[in-house]
Structure 1
Amino acid sequence: MTDRSTAFDAWWGWPPPVLDPAGPYAESVTVLAWVLFGMGVVVTAIVAAALYVALAGPARLKAKLGGEKMVWVMGIGFPAVVLTGLLIWGLTLTASLTDPVRGDEQRIRVTGHMWWWDVEYLDAQGRVVLRDANELHLPVGRPVVLELRSVDVIHSFWVPNLSGKEDMIPGRTNFLKVQADRAGRYGGICAEYCGGPHALMGFVVAAHNDADYRRLLAGGGFATPARIDPQAVPGRMPAIRRATAATASGAPDGQALFMANGCAACHRVAGTAANGLSGPDLTHLSRRLSLGAGILPNNRGTLQGWIADSQALKPGNRMPSYDMLSAREVAAIAAWLDTPR
């Protein structure tokens, strides 16, 4: 699906750029930002000129500047007109961000967790058909409606290249439209302080041409909840081998180690007994661009480092470090997770 070896070479840096629109919704926000910057410069120049007159100008101008009429005009009338005009124009310019949902757009549900993102692709009836984490895939040239939720504290979803910010509030669903007009990768962040490693809560957005996007969805490029091994249902769970289990070649068994060390309590891997929901779904981890919610490139080396000591890489995240495992055991788990499914 993606060439992970060059993923970070073509990425956005950190944090992502905020004045480089790649779609119509971000374009309107960027125009508004530049106008506000310009007005800020104009107002600052006027205030500086008035201050100069008050300090070093001729007596006649000082008298006018301190007069009652000037106070009414420049102290009340000017700010009221400028701010009211900017408010009305800004709301009109960015109205498209809250346009009513037509119903035929691609819908994606994004749920904020401390400190990662659960991503669910929905069908026309609102049913979950595909699932991913910390990564969002969009079709080029088509608006996508995001259903934004949170399960713990207030987060804020923001992809500066594609749209404005929208809060994710526990107990309610907010909607945001995004659109990418060119294929590529874009960075997203949480824009509302949510405690702990908030500054390291990012995600990746990948925009594909329409044919590639449909092929990704149809080909199982993301984790699919429906693909569950019959043995994984309650009552038919296969016996978990000991953590010291080995493969026929004598190497540690990555899947057995994953199950025996409690990883399945938090993570799901389709086709196995791992059905945890408190951490990201790892079914298609091998296809993802990043690890740790957008902070590391996804390759075998970084995956081993994350498993062994995630707290050193993202202090305060909810995954414990597994420094009790040997290097061979960590490598075995990483190799199993990095196997395409």
Structure 2
Amino acid sequence: MTDGWVAGLLQSRRSQRHLSRLCPGFIALLVLPLTSCSGTHSALDPAGPEAANVAQLFFVMLAGGVVIWVGLVAALIYSARKKREHSEESAGRVILWGGAVIPTIILCALLSYGMWLMPAIRPWVPDDQQVRRIEVTGEQFWWRVRYLDEAGETMFETANEVRIPVGEPAHFSLKAADVIHSFWVPSLGGKMDMIPGRTNPLTLTADREGTYRGVCAEFCGESHALMAFTVRAVAPDEHEAWLAERRVSGSQDAEGLAIFLNNGCGACHAISGTPANGRIGPDLTAFGERTTLAAATLRHTAEDIARFVAYPGVIKPGVKMPHFGMLPEDDIKTIAAFLKELK
């Protein structure tokens, strides 16, 4: 009997040691999914009222799903532990109430709540309300961004990066130039499709300063996964100063501009205040102030700019920009340095 007790104690201690090794891994598996609930790319870390409503709807729907799941599992356990067999009448009641009536009531309540919350998720801005108006056009595989004045006229154009003032609604007019894209900034609000031939409105408001990542949420071709953008929310005064600065053409390096124009880059790209007035590719005015390259695919360094100029199709398959790898290396480096410092 003593030997059995000792053996049991040793087995218990081995089990405890085994569990102590498993627990950290088990806890890590539980914690790992929670890491996606925060950050500038998370719909569950809202930085604006629209995104907060989306997150709230998610948690309410999650709670409803948990209630249905727990009820179903409880019914199954109860039925499995019953010693006697269920009559046909009692089994029918379980199926009716547990499988149809109660889930239907919960789902109808969740649907009603979602419909009630919908106006807050998609706020409507009257045409006569003074808001920041920005037109964004999705193209394969980048974003054309135009800032509009009160009359709806274009003040200036940029690409792949958007700036909005904190605490003020920004009204986006969303378009597509080629195929269906989808504009989504998870931390600021829900997604909105961009369909060729029509304009879809979307209003977003940022509650705090920061840089938030946006993506194309509709498969649009080979480099769909490489079609991202950033939204920078800054203080209203800083935003006003930036708008005023962008209306004034900056200075350019004469040698770099000459090589840029001589190699035909100005046929596709525009730089304000220069002969480059192309409309096929992204506007490169004030390119030097951007933080990423090629729709948030690369870092904004002279080396990465040179690499993209030389072989854009290698970095982003399906991109419409031709390769310039046949140019002299010094010319490519000069163009990259010119763009890097372009203000």
Determine if the alignment matches structure 1 residue 20 to structure 2 residue 22.
Answer: no
**C-alpha contact 2:138 2:194 (8 A) present in aligned 1:** yes
**8 A Cα contact 2:311 2:324, kept in partner:** yes
Structure 2 gaps of 5+ residues are 1-36
Partner of 1:70: 94
Q: Match for 2:61 among 10, 16, 36?
A: 36
Partner of 2:230: 204
Distance (whole Å) between structure 2 residues aligned to residue 211 and residue 133 of structure 1: 22
Distance 1:146 1:125 in 2: 15
Query: Quick check: 1:185–1:207 contact (8 Å CA) kept in 2?
Result: yes
Compared CA separation, residues 263 and 61, structure 1 to 2 (3 A) = farther
Q: Which letter does structure 2 place at the counterpart of 1:309?
A: Y
Aligned identity (percent) is 40
- CA separation of 1:79/1:338 partners in 2, compared to 1, >3 Å: closer, same or farther? same
**Alignment TM-score, normalising by the size of structure 1:** 0.82
1:279, 1:155 → 2: CA distance? Answer: 17
TM-aligned CA deviation for residue 60 of structure 1: 4.5
More helix by share: 2
Give distance in 1, aligned partners of 2:106 and 2:175. Answer: 36
SS in 1 for 2:174: strand
Tell me which moved more, 181-190 or 99-108.
Answer: 99-108
Q: How many Å apart are 1:320 and its aligned residue?
A: 2.4
CA distance in 1, matches of 2:88, 2:215: 50
Q: 1-side partners of 2:186 and 2:89: how far apart?
A: 42
Q: 1:116 Cα shift?
A: 0.5
Amino acid at match of 1:209: A
Match of 2:216 in 1: 190
Give the Cα separation in 2 of the matches to 1:57 and 1:16. Answer: 46
Aligned residues, how many? 303
Q: How far, CA to CA, are the matches of 2:38 and 2:310 in structure 1? A: 26
Structure 2 residue 82 is matched with structure 1 residue 58: yes
How far is the alpha carbon of 1:53 from its aligned partner?
4.3
Task: Summarize deviations over 1:47-77 as a string: whole Å, max 9, x none.
Answer: 33334445x3315575479722222222222
CA 1:338 to 1:183, structure 2 compared with 1: closer, same or farther past 3 Å? same
**3-state DSSP class of the match of 2:273?**
coil
Query: Does 2:153 correspond to 1:127?
Result: yes
What are structure 1's unaligned runs of at least 5 residues?
1-11, 229-246, 248-252
Counterpart selection for 2:336 from 324, 334, 337: 334
Q: What RMSD, in angstroms, separates the aligned Cα atoms of the two structures? A: 2.5
Separation (CA, whole Å) in 2 of partners of 1:49 and 1:61:
17
Aligned mate of 1:83, from 99, 107, 120: 107
Deviates more, 1:146-155 or 1:297-306: 297-306
**Aligned-pair CA distance for 1:305:** 1.6
| CA-CA distance at 1:133 after TM superposition | 0.5
Q: Which moved more, 1:278-287 or 1:14-23?
A: 14-23
Name the residue aligned to 2:9: none
Indicate the structure (1 or 2) with the bigger Cα radius of gyration: 2
Shift of 1:167: 0.7
Determine helix, strand or coil for the equivalent of 1:118: strand
1:97 aligns with 2:121: yes
In structure 2, relative to structure 1, the CA distance for the partners of 1:152 and 1:254 (3 Å cut) is same
State the match for 1:264 in structure 2: 266
Q: Work out which structure has the larger RCO, using CA pairs closer than 8 Å and 6 or more positions apart in sequence.
A: 1
Aligned to 2:179: 153
The aligned counterpart of 1:49 is 74
User: Deviation string for 1:66-113 (max 9, x for gaps)?
Assistant: 722222222222232122211121122231233331321111111111
Q: CA deviation at 1:283?
A: 1.2
**How far has the Cα of 1:41 moved from its partner?**
2.6
* SS of structure 2 residue aligned to 1:67: helix
User: For 1:187-243, what per-residue CA distance to the aligned partner results, in whole angstroms no more than 9, with x for missing partners?
Assistant: 0001111111101110011011011011001111xxx5x969xxxxxxxxxxxxxxx
CA distance in 2, matches of 1:114, 1:283: 20
Give the letter aligned to residue 150 of structure 1. A
* 8 Å contact from structure 1 (residues 29, 94) kept in 2: no
- Aligned match of 1:325: 327
Of 149, 160, 168 in structure 1, the residue corresponding to residue 194 of structure 2 is 168
Are the equivalent residues in 1 in contact too, given 2:47–2:208 (CA < 8 A)? yes
2:143 corresponds in structure 1 to 117
> How has the CA–CA distance of structure 1 residues 190 and 66 changed in structure 2, closer, same or farther, with 3 Å as cutoff?
farther
1:292-340 CA distances to partner (integer Å, 9 max, x unpaired)?
Answer: 1012221222211211222232222222222112321111111222233
Deviates more, 1:142-151 or 1:317-326: 317-326
Q: Against the structure 1 CA distance between its residues 61 and 109, is the aligned structure 2 distance closer, same or farther, given a 3 Å change threshold?
A: farther
1:137 corresponds to which residue?
A: 163
Determine if the alignment matches structure 1 residue 177 to structure 2 residue 203: yes
Shift of 1:182: 0.8
* Correspondence 1:173-252 to 2 at 5 A: 173-220=199-246
